Amino acid sequence: MANESMKTGADLLIDALQKNGLNNIYGVVGIPVTDFARLAQLRGMKFFGFRREDAAVDAAAAAGYLTQKPGVALTVSAPGFLNGLTALAQATKNCFPLIMISGSSERHIIDLDQGDYEGLDQYNVAKPFCKAAYRVDRAQDMGLAVARAVRTALSGRPGGVYLDLPANTIGQQIEVTDDSDAGIYEVVDPAPKQAPSDEAINRAVEVIKGAKKPLIILGKGAAYAQSEKLVQKLVADTDIPFLPMSMAKGLISDEDKHSAAAARSLSLSGADVVILIGARLNWMLSHGAAPTFNPNAKFVQLEIEATEFDSNQKIDAPLQGDLNSILAKLVPALEKAGYQTPQAWLDEISAKTAENAAKFAKRIEAGETNAKFGYYGTLEPIKEYFLKNPDTYLVSEGANTLDIGRNMIDMKLPRHRLDTGTWGVMGVGLGYAIATAIETGKPVVALEGDSAFGFDGMEMETICRYHLPITVVVVNNGGIYNGTDREVADQPGPTMLDATARYEYMAKAFGGDSYFVSSYQEMKAAFEQAVASKRPNIINVQIDPSMGKESGHIGNLNPKLDLKK
């Protein structure tokens, strides 16, 4: 019988994670963390084993975004750590709270470069790619290490934390009598409320009161902060129109009359006061510059990270703090000021919305009958399904698949859409879908371009092994952007992939269901059945390879070369 008062580093790590309400681990095991994962399961935690570390770490990041508690990922050392590092960097860029724990080597072997099994100075390699890196060399420090990791991941701007876990520390035994003796404790208030001063609030009210054409831009920070109630009140009180960035869709229903999404260009270029709520003025918003924005626009920014203000444009009214604390002061202050958006601006936006919606409706209608089956015919049944079943989650990646899907599929509930995020990363889809299904228990649709699906398609085995209610829709246009790119006759073009690939068989191979469709009618018949089955499945949608344009709606970022030389 093991000596009851002796505990290993592994025991203490599990105690500390559970003490802080962290019970799911997403990872890939191997030396030196295999038994740690087994012990975690024996102690009541859930370990979800993936096929590759980047998908596992993506899953943990999505769990953090959805739950406001850090997702926990586990990898082996060196190659496993490096495979997870991209996803750790992405989580930090997306401001998702995540703790990535990797098995590691002893310092004296690394520092003398003596050549350890999978030896690498992971602690220092990780630092540029995360919010902070910590290394725990003594079992007795485990409680503090986890507390630091939890607080760092959640406080201020959320992000990724790396926890370096040498093999010796995992196995080290220490004498403990109880949690306090072992330094295990629950972090107190890891994400403290931070409210702006009355002066800052009054300054913002004055700027907004001067607005003839105000516009609210909602970012994924507003979704993560779970600020929907106050955001909805702000819009209802003032009638200020709003533009949701992709992952902020659903904070206010896309069907709400204040949505300016269908008049995006006009609302951005016309607005004279732009109110940024948990959104950065980065490349996704053309850095706040003309001609996308009105060169004379004033900016009000609600943001927790002080260094974000003035990153791209002068911020006339910075409101620093956590969004709910800021809005709790701003909303009543605007109500007291009695600010109302001028009707002329609302009329201008609704006229443009009606005009664009009519054009869009024509494209959708044509998609149902187009001889060349394409995106609109594929996405219309999905759009209809989400309108009727808003409590379904959507994950999406690709270029045209992502862009057209974002404009077509309305969201009514917050945090129900996850996608490629700030970096526009391919290969996050299945990891995000897995964590979303696990953390919410709801059905998930992963809407994938055929190239994007290829980045982590093997996680279909993970999806089937855990019997997750995930419908993977692979939109096959035969390529990255499309399948007709052919610069020279004797080889497929750089963007070409197999336009006839039968991706759906991967589901059947692992016990899931396979669907193949190549028309609007077939897609309409298959989609609802596949999602309602709550079984893992792939719908392979073969569309015409000519469909899709290079890099979707951001083709302008690609330097164009003269290929005729």
Q: How many residues of this chain bind ligand TPW (CB under 6 A)?
A: 19
Strand ranges, E, within 136-186: 160-166, 173-175
Query: Tell me, what DSSP letter sits at residue 538?
Result: E
- Residue 539, classed as helix, strand or coil, is strand
Q: How far is the CB of 476 from ligand TPW (least distance, A)?
A: 8
Among 260, 281, 475, 507, binds ligand TPW (CB under 6 A): 475
Say whether residue 303 binds ligand ADP (CB under 6 A).
Answer: yes
Say whether residue 216 binds ligand ADP (CB under 6 A).
Answer: no
DSSP string, 369-418: H-SS--HHHHHHHHHHHHHH-TTSEEEEESSHHHHHHHHHS---STT-EE
Closest to ligand ADP by CB, 157 vs 508, is 157
Say whether residue 436 binds ligand TPW (CB under 6 A).
Answer: no
- How far apart are the C-alpha atoms of 454 and 313, rounded to whole Å? 38
Phi then psi dihedrals of residue 223, to 5 deg: -70, -50
Say whether residue 288 binds ligand ADP (CB under 6 A).
Answer: no
Closest to ligand TPW by CB, 251 vs 382, is 382
Among 61, 98, 153, 225, binds ligand ADP (CB under 6 A): 225
Say whether residue 247 binds ligand ADP (CB under 6 A).
Answer: yes
Look up residue 178 and give its amino acid.
D
- Closest by alpha carbon to 401, among 509, 549, 255? 549
Say whether residue 480 binds ligand TPW (CB under 6 A).
Answer: yes
Strands 444-449 and 417-419: unpaired
Residues 243-262 that bind ligand TPW (CB under 6 A): none
Say whether residue 417 binds ligand ADP (CB under 6 A).
Answer: no
Stretch that binds ligand ADP, among 178-186, 304-312, 458-466, 515-523 (CB under 6 A): 304-312
Number of alpha carbons in the 13 Å side-chain half-sphere of residue 303: 21
Among 59, 72, 89, 95, binds ligand ADP (CB under 6 A): 95
Stretch that binds ligand ADP, among 26-34, 216-224, 484-492, 534-542 (CB under 6 A): 216-224
Residues forming the site for Mg ion (CB under 5 A): 449-451, 477
Say whether residue 100 binds ligand ADP (CB under 6 A).
Answer: no
Tokens 């396979």, residue? 514
Question: Which option in Mg ion, ligand ADP, ligand TPW, none does residue 424 bind, with CB closer than 5 to 8 A by kind?
Answer: ligand TPW
CA-CA-CA-CA torsion sign (238, 241, 246, 249): positive
Kindly tell me the burial class for residue 188, based on how many C-beta atoms sit within 10 Å of its own C-beta (0-12, 13-18, 19 or more). Answer: exposed
Q: How far is the CB of 421 from ligand ADP (least distance, A)?
A: 7
User: Distance between the two ends of the chain, CA-based, in angstroms?
Assistant: 78
Measured at the CA of 428, the angle between CA 537 and CA 93, to 5 degrees, comes to 155
Rg for the chain (alpha carbons), in Å? 25
Say whether residue 545 binds ligand TPW (CB under 6 A).
Answer: no
- How far apart are the C-alpha atoms of 468 and 512, rounded to whole Å? 10
Residues 401-430 that bind ligand TPW (CB under 6 A): 401, 424-427
- Closest by alpha carbon to 71, among 56, 49, 81, 51? 56
Give yes or no for a cis peptide into 291 (omega within 30° of 0): yes
- How far apart are the C-alpha atoms of 497 and 479, rounded to whole Å? 4
Say whether residue 61 binds ligand TPW (CB under 6 A).
Answer: no
Say whether residue 316 binds ligand ADP (CB under 6 A).
Answer: no
Question: Which residue has the closest beta carbon to ligand ADP?
Answer: 221
Among 299, 481, 520, 527, binds ligand TPW (CB under 6 A): 481
Say whether residue 348 binds ligand ADP (CB under 6 A).
Answer: no
Q: How far is the CB of 450 from ligand TPW (least distance, A)?
A: 4
* CB-CB contact of 12 with 165 (8 Å): no
Q: How far is the CB of 429 from Mg ion (least distance, A)?
A: 13
Q: How far is the CB of 524 from ligand ADP (least distance, A)?
A: 31
Q: How far is the CB of 249 from ligand ADP (least distance, A)?
A: 10
- How far apart are the C-alpha atoms of 430 and 186, rounded to whole Å? 32
Phi then psi dihedrals of residue 150, to 5 deg: -65, -50
Q: How many residues of this chain bind ligand ADP (CB under 6 A)?
A: 24
Say whether residue 300 binds ligand ADP (CB under 6 A).
Answer: no
Tokens 């609030």, residue? 201
- How far apart are the C-alpha atoms of 476 and 517, rounded to whole Å? 10
- Interhelix angle 375-388/400-408, rounded to 10 degrees, is 40
- Residue 54, classed as helix, strand or coil, is helix
- How far apart are the C-alpha atoms of 261 and 254, rounded to whole Å? 8
Q: How far is the CB of 383 from ligand TPW (least distance, A)?
A: 16
Among 145, 266, 279, 507, binds ligand ADP (CB under 6 A): 279
Closest to ligand ADP by CB, 64 vs 278, is 278
Closest to ligand ADP by CB, 303 vs 504, is 303
Phi then psi dihedrals of residue 425, to 5 deg: -90, 130
- How far apart are the C-alpha atoms of 21 and 356, rounded to whole Å? 47
Say whether residue 214 binds ligand TPW (CB under 6 A).
Answer: no
Closest to ligand ADP by CB, 18 vs 311, is 311
Say whether residue 323 binds ligand ADP (CB under 6 A).
Answer: yes
Stretch that binds ligand ADP, among 33-41, 299-307, 341-349, 536-544 (CB under 6 A): 299-307
Question: Which option in ligand TPW, ligand ADP, Mg ion, none does residue 164 bind, with CB closer than 5 to 8 A by kind?
Answer: none
Residues 227-246 that bind ligand ADP (CB under 6 A): 245
- Residue 472, classed as helix, strand or coil, is strand
Q: How far is the CB of 427 from Mg ion (least distance, A)?
A: 14
The residues of the shown chain that bind ligand TPW, judged by CB under 6 A, are: 398-401, 424-427, 449-452, 475, 477, 479-481, 548, 552
The residues of the shown chain that bind ligand ADP, judged by CB under 6 A, are: 94-95, 157-158, 219-221, 224-225, 245, 247-248, 278-280, 282, 284, 303-305, 308, 322-323, 422
